[in-house]
A = this chain, B = another copy of it.
């Protein structure tokens, strides 16, 4: 029995991992700061590394590329997505769960000014928009698998993977519309009609 077993609250992680996390955070902070101030394209990774007081080599040891400096925390997004499906309330269909999740999480009225700034930055930077879309669509695989699991289908079931991809298209589709909530609802209505009596054919849960 060891100390970390007795005190699970305190960081079970040693100095090493803490320092690593600190470095990563310093880099991300420096990047965001510089990007917001001067724009993404006008800041070089060398600038970021300098500001974070690390070598560019170290920077790339923590982030796979320049764009990734902005999109930290992608795993959390995917986790929330799959959780929304997996832990949906009893009796609610998969699509309804996704609709609820979309309305809650994607169309939020942004209040946090930091997130707001970040969103504006991504919005005005084509390279970041493209990167964001690529990252986003990579969740399709995971989402498709979860949906298939929940419905007792094969992992690569076409209807499930299609549903996953189509749902993930929604943010792109409704972006920039005057009434995003209504737009989300409309698209989900389309999907529900298409998948009606197909996804229900197998009992959920």
Which A residues lie at the B interface, using CB under 8 A?
Answer: 130, 134, 158-159, 161-162, 165-166, 169, 172-174, 177, 183, 186-187, 190-196, 198
Contact = CB atoms under 8 A, between A and B. Distances in A.
Contacts of A195: 190, 193-194
B169 A186 contact: no
A202 to B, nearest CB: 16
What number of copies of this chain does the assembly contain? 2
Nearest to A163: B190
B162 A190 contact: yes
Nearest to A170: B162
A158 B187 contact: yes
Contact of A169 (B130, B166, B174, B196): B166
Contacts of A166: 166, 169
Contacts of A130: 134
Given A158-B173, A159-B186, 16 more contacts: A130-B134, A158-B174, A158-B177, A158-B186, A158-B187, A159-B190, A161-B173, A162-B169, A162-B173, A162-B190, A166-B169, A190-B194, A190-B195, A191-B194, A192-B194, A194-B194
A183 B190 CA distance: 20
Given A162-B173, A173-B158, A190 B198 contact: yes
Contacts of A169: 162, 165-166, 169
6 contacts: A158-B177, A158-B187, A165-B173, A190-B194, A190-B195, A194-B195
A187 B166 CA distance: 11
A59 to B, nearest CB: 22
Nearest to A156: B177
A191 B166 CA distance: 11
